[in-house]
């Protein structure tokens, strides 16, 4: 969505997607009607940045902003700008003696008063004695000028349902694996919105794509699946990830083979899998770690042109990078880095730089 400031179309589209994903269909339809501009974009999905917006993007942006605000406050030793999630709020809300209709989950009957006052002459008045000095106390207690008014902040009972709850639009499906020796270790949704109902499930003796229906009319509707790879018994998919295009997924397989002398040897492989079957294989340099090394992480950069893998044998670590833009049926790594300590994970910081974390280390490579 670019590095510049968000425009009105960005904000409207993020809110529209949030309303759709949360099941607020009427609100989403009303927003679309007010926002609709047939002379420019009749369909919001045709906006140039629409394909870059992932599921729950607005929630992630807000959470990242709150987290950044918290870190900024810690670094600068100043108060936070956004106090919606601060832990001190419950204490603050209870000490600020301002009337609030959200103080209780349900209305309480007026308490009997033993002391007469002018307020008792007016049955519509609030049964709270005015305390003029509260305003001065609040000014002394809260030096932050930009602090939000307590009336507009939800109390600790923010989860209380006060409005009529609409019928939930979500649906649940249940199904059992038809392979008794298989178990799911990873489940990954397709990153593309056009194939958002395609689910990759991998694990022990399992590498399978599920195509789930958009709407289930009854609980008997089944999810169709395709096994992308014939998995030997006892084999395990240790890591997997979708290509950003959503056209295929890359999987790391750990299996064994029987040698002529009767012993078994570990075999590790990495391949691209599609609904139609295996697309291509990768040449691994796991032998640099000698024995018992497994691939624990796979990551594509945002553009999908580079793929990195992380291998470890709990004593040493290995990071390999492939040029995923090549159409070859077999790929060699373009970069290999061997570590003398275990590597836990690695992520892309940009399209051409990575961050590697391990035991007492955090390294940046470009």
Mean pLDDT of the 67-88 span:
77
Q: Does residue 358 sit within a domain?
A: yes
Q: What is the pLDDT of residues 160-209, one digit of tens each?
A: 444 555 555 566 777 778 887 888 888 999 998 888 889 999 999 888 89
Number of folded domains that form the chain = 1
Q: What is the pLDDT of residues 219-236, one digit of tens each?
A: 556 778 888 877 777 889
Distance CA 172, CA 194 (A): 20
Q: Does residue 221 sit within a domain?
A: yes
Give the domain CATH number at 352: 2.130.10.10
**Confidence tier at 135 by pLDDT (50, 70, 90):** very low
Closest CA to 250 of 191, 196, 195, 291: 191
**DSSP letter, residue 339:** E
* Structural domain harbouring 241: 183-365
Q: Does residue 223 sit within a domain?
A: yes
Q: Which residues contact 257 (CB under 8 A, 6 or more apart)?
A: 264, 265, 267
Distance CA 65, CA 82 (A): 9
Q: Does residue 97 sit within a domain?
A: no
**DSSP letter, residue 101:** T
Mean pLDDT of the 269-295 span:
75
Strand partners for 34? none
Q: Is the entire prediction scored with pTM above 0.85? A: no
Q: Does residue 192 sit within a domain?
A: yes
Q: Does residue 54 sit within a domain?
A: no
Q: Does residue 241 sit within a domain?
A: yes
Question: Are 302 and 351 a contacting pair, CB within 8 Å?
Answer: yes
């Amino acid at each position: 969505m670019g590095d510049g400031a968000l425009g009105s179309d960005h904000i409207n589209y993020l809110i529209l997607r949030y309303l759709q994903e949360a099941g607020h269909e009427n609100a989403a339809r009303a927003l679309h009607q007010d926002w609709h501009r047939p002379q420019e974009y009749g369909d919001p999905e045709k906006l140039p940045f629409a394909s870059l917006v992932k599921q729950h993007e607005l929630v992630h942006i807000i959470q990242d902003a709150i987290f950044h605000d918290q870190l900024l406050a810690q670094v600068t030793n100043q108060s936070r700008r956004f106090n919606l999630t601060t832990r001190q709020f419950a204490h603050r809300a209870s000490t600020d003696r301002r009337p609030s209709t959200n103080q209780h989950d349900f209305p309480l009957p007026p308490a009997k008063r033993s002391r007469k006052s002018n307020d008792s002459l007016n049955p519509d008045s609030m049964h709270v004695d005015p305390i003029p000095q509260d305003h001065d106390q609040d000014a002394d207690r809260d030096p932050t000028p930009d602090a939000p008014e307590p009336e507009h902040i939800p109390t600790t009972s923010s989860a209380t349902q006060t409005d009529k709850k609409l019928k939930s639009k979500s649906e649940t499906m249940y199904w059992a694996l038809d392979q008794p020796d298989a178990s799911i270790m990873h489940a990954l949704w397709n990153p593309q919105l056009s194939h958002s109902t395609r689910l990759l499930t991998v694990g022990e003796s399992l590498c399978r794509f599920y195509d789930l229906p958009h709407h289930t009319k009854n609980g008997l509707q089944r999810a169709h699946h395709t096994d992308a790879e014939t998995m030997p018994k006892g084999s395990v998919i240790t890591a997997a990830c979708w290509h950003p295009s959503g056209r295929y997924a890359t999987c790391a397989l750990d299996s064994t083979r029987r040698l002529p002398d009767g012993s078994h040897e570990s075999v590790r492989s990495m391949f691209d899998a599609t609904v139609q079957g295996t697309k291509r294989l990768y040449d691994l340099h796991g032998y640099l770690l000698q024995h018992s090394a497994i691939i624990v992480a796979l990551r594509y950069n945002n553009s999908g042109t580079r793929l990195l893998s992380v291998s470890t044998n709990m004593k040493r670590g290995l990071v390999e990078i492939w040029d995923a833009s090549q159409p070859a049926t077999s790929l060699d790594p373009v970069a290999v880095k061997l570590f003398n300590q275990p590597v836990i994970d690695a992520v892309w910081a940009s399209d051409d730089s990575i961050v590697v974390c391990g035991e007492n280390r955090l390294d940046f490579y470009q």
